[in-house]
Amino acid sequence: MIKFTKLTTVVAVALVAMPAMAQNVQSPSKGLYRLIDNSDGYFNVRDNVVMIEGEDDIKACRFGLTPEFFAAYGAGDAAGIEVNQPEVVCASITEFNVVDTAAEINDTAELYNFIDNSEAYVNVTQNIVMIEGESDIEFCHFDLSDEYFAAVAGNDDAAMAANQPKVTCVPFADVSK
């Protein structure tokens, strides 16, 4: 009976403590959860940056996840979790500068539509994504800097303009020569 009581007490304490810890790591924006949950898909652009194809928008999100955060979380170290708390910052692709090339994608509206209507997409290497559209395959280089995400987080219009992401796409035919 004593073992059962101790086990019950430990489980009860753990159940009370864990939700508080879990709340600490969730994004303050329930919109991000909904964006991911209701998305048509997502792909890795580069380390810590994921492009999420939502129902109404396509966003690049920098998650800011580090091994230190996971170590603190795994150890139940509340102070370590707080110090290493990841900052999630998302930016709409409508804010990107799309370079006009021989590709089918030459502006943000075309980029949005190409991804939205795509069959599939996959990260090829750091910052380069292959997107299989309805009538063509494009390789796109996404130049998304940490400085841009910091500017978005700080609502710094001047820094956002100075670090505006640039997307350059190349048709499959020009890659596979």
Name the domain count of the chain. Answer: 1
Q: What is the DSSP letter of 105?
A: -
Q: What is the DSSP letter of 94?
A: G
pLDDT tens digit string along 80-115? Answer: 999 999 999 999 999 999 999 988 899 999 999 999
pLDDT tens digit string along 34-44? Answer: 888 988 899 99
Mean pLDDT of the chain: 85
Give the closest residue to 42 by CA, choosing from 96, 120, 94: 120
Residue 137 β-bridge partners: 132
CA angle 169, 147, 60 (to 5 degrees): 50
Domain limits for position 36? 2-175
pLDDT for res 12:
42
The amino acid present at 36, given as its one-letter code, is: I
CA angle 101, 39, 64 (to 5 degrees): 80
Q: What is the DSSP letter of 123?
A: E
pLDDT tens digit string along 3-39? Answer: 444 444 433 433 334 333 333 344 446 788 888 898 8
| Band of pLDDT at residue 56, cut at 50, 70 and 90 | confident
